[in-house]
Amino acid sequence: MDLASIALSSHKRYEKIKFLGEGQFATVYKAKDLKEDRIVAVKKIKVGAKSEFNDGVNRTALREIKLQQELHHPNILGLLDVYGHKSNISLVFDFMDTDLEIIIRDNKLVLTPANIKAYTIMTLQGLEYLHTNFILHRVGQIDSGNSRYANTNDCSIY
């Protein structure tokens, strides 16, 4: 199987379900991994200016891919796959249901001191892992929108 066939099969492996959000450099979708029969998050990197490219790929995207491939910790959002389609690069991550901001703003949820302590510990454990590996999370980016939650017992930073 040649590289083009692999890229095409990876592209068809993920079926978009829902638009989740958009940032300066990427768009994120909830998707279904048809091969593994699980829900994932697909981050489609936006194509930047030609000056940002080195050998056809955005340098910021390359750095993110390289770092994410090397990070393996329960409190760091896991990178599952990377694929290209046309002129785009997509990163596939574990899917997390919500973020801390949504949890905080939900008036129906009561955060107990134990919940707050657990979320804080999980976030700090993820940061400690990053810092131990000489990686600094972008200043100001450890906020409620970058702390992802699959359930009340599972927190990962991104």
For 149-152, the CB contacts below 8 A with 24+ separation are 149/96, 149/97, 149/98, 149/99, 149/100, 149/103, 150/94, 150/95, 150/96, 150/97, 151/97, 152/115
Which residues, including other chains, have CB under 8 Å from residue 158's CB and lie 6 or more apart? Answer: 76, 77, 93, 146, 147, 148
Supply angle C-alpha 83, 74, 57, rounded to 5: 25
Which three-class secondary structure state does DSSP give residue 105? helix
* 44 is an annotated ligand-binding site residue: yes
Known binding site: residues?
44
Known binding site for ATP: residues?
44
